Structure 1
Amino acid sequence: MKNIKTILLSGMLLAASGVMTTSCSDLLDLSPVDYYGSGSYWTTEAQVTGYMDGIHKHIRDAADQHIFTFGEQRGGIYKSGTATDGNALYGGNIVLQNFDKNNTGVTNFGGHYGRLANINLFIERVTNADYVGEAKKKYYLAQAYGLRAFIYFELYRIYGGVPLRLDVEVINGIIDPEKLYMARSTPKEVMTQIKKDLDTSMEYFGDVTSFDPYNRGNKKSYWSKAATECLMGDVYLWTSKVTTGDNPANPADLAVAKKHLESVANNYGLKMLSNFADVFDATNKGNSEVIFAIRYAEGEATNGVGNFTYVVQGEVDKKGYRADGTSWNDPLRLNRNGMQWYEYIPELYQLFDEKDERRDATFITSYQKDEDGKLVLWGTHVCKNLGILNAEGNRVYCGDQYFYRLPWVYLSLAEIANMEGDNAGVEKYINLIRQRAYGDSEGVWDTAKYAYKAGDFTQNELAILHEKDKEFVQEGQRWWDIYRMTLTKGGKHLVFCPEANLKNDGNPILPETESYKLLWPIEQNMLDKDPAIKQTPGYEEAEAAK
């Protein structure tokens, strides 16, 4: 693939900063020498540590893409068209499922092959390194294999079969462009490699259950054994329910998912906080329910939450009211550091019960007045994970983004319990989440009023979905949930069922006639330039049928 070739041919990663160049114009004139094999790098433990820092920086670079583009925008919870604040909303084709070879949502496989090239190089160089102690070497390799599995699992869920690049032969001096073409492996081949990498990660972690075994103060922002076990739960739950190409769903995988998720819940000292908002307090990073976090800080990178807020002196600021009838007047103190390029549908806000503390910790809503002076819901604006006001009074979006935290483990275990027909387990795990949501910390948890009482499979599955809808706004779950979860055991996936559509208009998020769109298409530019790459199944047939 031309884009992958460009990345690989330019594989001079600046390990200290984690920046990888993407232009091959200079390197093509150089002799085929492995620059990483010289005496200038791969000689000290500090270089290994710095390189792993760079790999984590690359994961941060893709965090918004992972959470919002891939994890949420297709899930039926985003508005399209015009925001309440008057802006033209971004990502309309993705939100509306408008995909073809000219509208692919993302290009170049989401940029993941540059990240994979760096991980592959790390694995090759560190595996045989004699300048790193054996325990640290295994720890770093465990991280590398876990992160490679994480990226390939994302690619698998997005595209199905993808090129399976596991070596660094280009960096080793092979610059024959014909050797850089690589066809898409089958979904089964990709998943086999993902599970193999996960097993290797577990083997290398061994009995290291600490989130920071070498006291680097990372506050759970480095990949850990708990993260690998979460990913194993994620992967095996997925493959127990979802068929992708030549890789059929295997119900036996459910037991593997359960084993690893129960291990995460019981073996890593994790505990839910008593107050939902405290989980996302930027002064409380790496708290007891966090498992793997993407780190942000003032003066470094910031998260994308500001794109879900509002513009000071925009339409809402000029004409809007708060729920108590007072004028808008910048209630989140954004101080001109906000925008509304994305907006959640009002039905998502309305899903919350008034007593659910997650509602007001997630959203602030704007209102207009009708002709009778009555307040009418106007727009939804995110207040979750807003970061801090710095010493100058400026809003800084430096709250960490979470890929895995303990409530995700609990609700995944609820989904597994539902598959097993274990209603007691469904109730147990849903109610662990609801107890906090309805004020357990204030002693007002009313079991009779707020506890979930299990029903049949469909009722339980939808209850788990909607609990996740409320718990994980801006945490990249909704699309994968409706893709994986089913209306009946072994039946139709929720993405094809009106019951999962919060708009309650009788339509599914995606019609079954467009089921090929579950996987994303490859852009025409890549198809033109790489003869080995073929289009995602279904798109060419759909194009021909027009």
Structure 2
Amino acid sequence: MSTIRKIHYILCFTLLLTASCNKDFVKLDPTDKISDDQAYSTPNAVQALMVSLYERIGWNFEDQRFGEGGPGNYTWIWTDEAHGSYTWSATANTNTVSDNFGWWDYVLIKDLNDFIAKISDATVTAELKTRYLSEAHFLRAYIYFSMVKRYGGVPIVDKVLQIGIDELNIPRSTEQEVYDFVEKDLNIAIEGLLTKYEDGTDKYRATKYAAYALKSRAMLYAGSEARYGTVQLNGLLGINSTLAQSYFQKAFDAANEIIKNEEIKLYKGNPDYALNYQKIFDGSVDPNANSEIIMAKGYAMPNNAYNFDLYNAPQSFKVDWGCFTNPTADLVEDYEYTDGTAGKLKIKDGSGQYIKYSNPADLFKNKDPRFFATILYPNATFNMNGNPQGNFIGIRRGIMVGNNTLQTDDANQTHGSGTFATTILGKDGPTVANGDQTKTGFYIRKFMSESSSFIPGWGKTETPGIIFRYGEVLLNYAEAAFEINNATQAAWAVNEIRERAGMPKHVSIDMAKIRHERKIELAFEHHRYWDVRRWHIAHTLFNNTPLHALHPFLVWEDGKPSSEMSYVFQIVQIPNRPTRTFLNATYYFRIDNSGANTYLIQNPGY
């Protein structure tokens, strides 16, 4: 990444406090150590406060917090998308889907409330007051939405509380009231936010269309809870089913406002369908040149980068950690073929005999192009860290010798002799027990920094984190449209997504197709975990459910180099991994009602 681009990322997301790159940042003491007179006394000081609010929610934009944090923060390892490779990781040792994704940030809400109360008296123009006020409402809505989808109803605090004057033990509001509060904040934000910013920061801060995107997501969730959930605890959990239609209509309308903006559209910068999709996410296209990105978080070394490539580099490309995200064979088979047929892998022929493939990659021929951009599969081409053992993914579980199968977790163990000797295990696994290598036969490609000159390391991932993109908006629109009995518009939106991906259009549409498209298009974007919860299907989808791995085997032929031998494949339950189970209580997370929060009503099951 060029130095200019690094500087651009830093300036954009942190909202440079001055217009010129040659000027210094305004440096302020922490806001709890300065007076209001100082904090609101100059345009630069007020902007510094706005910056601090963005920075405090910045790493907490939940989609990115889970992406940039440690591997245990990946929501996808708790769904049917992937498994974690490390034998000591939680998914290796427990079958119960985790609820360890809490978010309860009333300190930031307090400071946002303080900002909202005081911005009217700040020494800035009326235009800036409106803009900053609207941004604060957007950020507050983001936090409350992130809490309500976890806990149901939470206390609504919309002002700065005064000790001795206000009641501090504020009870939980109903789930409906919180969603309505989110909508109210977003409507204020939409009214006052700009569609673009003159300084070019509109991809890195809240715009009118970012607020519409959040509204489409939040109202879709509210509608789902009303339609598929159950009202409990006198409305602290759940929403009356009679309100489902109105929430879905609001989600539809919000998404439609973005669809009407001709400048926001699906990215189509490359004629190759797979490469085009890959470039949306891998950081090779500047977000300002990506028409699909509505809002993103920017990163830059040395002080504002993260570890995604370090944690997920395939075995033969890694520096230290690596290998963690292992997509399941179940997800792989969810990717259709380009003729629109179901994506079941062709392992055996009609007579039940294994099909032999001269190139392992041929097993995936004619898959949905998004598969090739999302998942690294056996013999896929890949570049990183100078390609120390070749620029391909070497996946082999063992060797078939006649009726016998040789398997090992030892990367150094070989079969054959002399020039024909070859390792039993592929250079990138898969292993069953030992090592970090993939346990499913696959690695993640989406988001990865693919370049032979890139060396993964601590704090070296600079790939922008997409918070809202047009692809999600279209899928929100499609789902909401179908829920309000507008199948025509639902089909249009889904087919826009499929056409961009090089997939045939659906002639008819139903909810199963919409949900399937959402799973494929938004894979590894931290939507699946929340989608199966809001649809209330997680307990059946993950009812003691085994997930699967792909094991390629080299078919041994004496007197031939391994490069001339064929491969066969087996799909097996992921070895040494428990089945996946979702507890009904996990539809709503446990509320920490210790200490000052002892008065709060706890959610069922805790």
Taking structure 1 as the reference length, what is the TM-score of the superposition?
A: 0.72
Structure 2 counterpart of 1:295: 298
Which region of structure 1 is more displaced relative to structure 2, 142-151 or 428-437?
A: 428-437
1:105 aligned residue: 100
After TM superposition, the structure 1 stretch with the greater mean CA deviation from structure 2, 369-378 or 410-419, is: 369-378
**Residue of structure 1 equivalent to 2:186:** 198
Q: Contact 1:74/1:95 (CA < 8 Å) preserved in 2? A: no
1:221 to 183, 204, 227: 204
Post-superposition offset of 1:418: 1.9
The CA distance in 1 between the partners of 2:258 and 2:508, in whole Å, is 24
Secondary structure in 2 matching 1:434:
helix
Aligned residues: 447
SS in 1 for 2:39: coil
CA contact (8 A) 2:77 2:83 kept: no
Note if contact 1:16-1:51 (Cα within 8 Å) is conserved in structure 2. no
> What is the aligned partner in structure 2 of residue 321 from structure 1?
none
* Structure 2: distance between partners of 1:432 and 1:92: 38
| Counterpart in the other structure of 1:368 | 396
Partner of 2:584: 515
* Residues 84-233 of structure 1 aligned to structure 2 (within 5 Å): 86-90=86-90, 96-97=96-97, 105-106=100-101, 110-129=103-122, 131-169=123-161, 174=163, 180-205=168-193, 208-210=194-196, 213-215=197-199, 217-218=200-201, 220-233=203-216
- What letter corresponds to residue 474 of structure 1 in structure 2? F
Distance 1:466 1:303 in 2: 31
Looking at structure 2, the residues matched to 195 and 461 of structure 1 have their Cα atoms a distance apart, in angstroms, of: 25
Q: Distance in 2 between matches of 1:19 and 1:388?
A: 40
Q: Secondary structure at the match of 1:223?
A: coil
> Corresponding residue for 2:417?
none
Letter in 2 for 1:248: N
Residue 87 of structure 1 and its aligned partner are, at CA, apart by 4.0
Worse-superposed segment, 222-231 or 193-202: 193-202
Which residues in structure 2 correspond to 1:15-414 (within 5 Å)? 36-63=34-61, 64-65=64-65, 69=73, 72-79=76-83, 83=85, 86-90=86-90, 96-97=96-97, 105-106=100-101, 110-129=103-122, 131-169=123-161, 174=163, 180-205=168-193, 208-210=194-196, 213-215=197-199, 217-218=200-201, 220-243=203-226, 245=232, 246=235, 247-249=239-241, 250=243, 251-267=245-261, 269-274=263-268, 275-286=276-287, 287-303=290-306, 305-306=308-309, 309-310=312-313, 317=315, 329-330=316-317, 334=318, 336=319, 338-353=321-336, 354-365=366-377, 367-372=395-400, 378-387=440-449, 393=455, 396-414=460-478
Q: What amino acid does structure 2 have at the position aligned with 1:385?
A: F
How far 1:228 moved relative to its partner?
0.7
CA deviation after TM superposition for structure 1 residue 148, in Å: 0.6
Structure 2 CA distance for aligned equivalents of residues 520 and 18 of structure 1: 37
- In the other structure, the counterpart of 1:488 is none
Give the conservation status (yes or no) of the 8 Å contact 1:159–1:520.
yes
Q: Is the Cα contact below 8 Å between 1:273 and 1:279 reproduced in 2?
A: yes
1:416 to 474, 480, 487: 480
Could you tell me which residue of structure 2 aligns to residue 527 of structure 1?
Answer: 594
Letter in 2 for 1:454: S
CA distance in 2, matches of 1:472, 1:452: 18
Compared CA separation, residues 521 and 262, structure 1 to 2 (3 A) = same
TM score, norm. by length of structure 2: 0.65
Shift in Å at residue 534 of structure 1? 2.8
Q: Secondary structure at the match of 1:58?
A: helix
Name which one, 1 or 2, has greater alpha-carbon Rg. Answer: 2
Structure 2 Cα separation of the partners of residues 307 and 342 of structure 1:
11
- Deviation track 1:202-230 (CA, whole Å, cap 9, x = no partner) reads 2222xx322xx231x32501011101111
What is the Cα deviation at residue 91 of structure 1? 6.1
Matched, 1:472 2:522: yes
Instruction: Name the % identity.
Output: 20
Q: Structure 1 residues 371, 342: closer, same or farther in 2, change over 3 A?
A: closer
Equivalent residue number for residue 359 of structure 2 = none
For residues 93 and 174 of structure 2, what CA distance do their matches in structure 1 show? 27
Mapped contact 1:78–1:344 kept (Cα < 8 A): yes
* Aligned-partner residue type, residue 452 of structure 1: H
Partners of 1:214 and 1:46 in 2: CA distance = 17
Question: One-letter code of the match for 1:437?
Answer: A
The farther-off stretch of 361-370 and 426-435 is: 361-370
How far, CA to CA, are the matches of 2:454 and 2:530 in structure 1?
40
Answer whether contact 2:481 2:490 (CA < 8 A) is retained: yes
Q: Secondary structure at the match of 2:590?
A: coil
**Is the counterpart of residue 428 in structure 1 residue 492 in structure 2?**
yes
Structure 2: 5+ residue stretches without partners = 1-24, 269-275, 337-365, 379-394, 406-425, 431-439, 549-572, 574-578
In structure 2, relative to structure 1, the CA distance for the partners of 1:94 and 1:408 (3 Å cut) is: farther
Cα distance per residue 1:333-352 (max 9 Å; x no partner): x5x15434444323223322
Q: Is the 8 A contact 2:313 2:322 kept in 1?
A: yes
Confirm or deny: 8 A CA contact 2:542 2:580 kept in the other structure: no
Structure 1 residues 45, 268: closer, same or farther in 2, change over 3 A? farther
Distance 1:532 1:429, change over 3 A: same
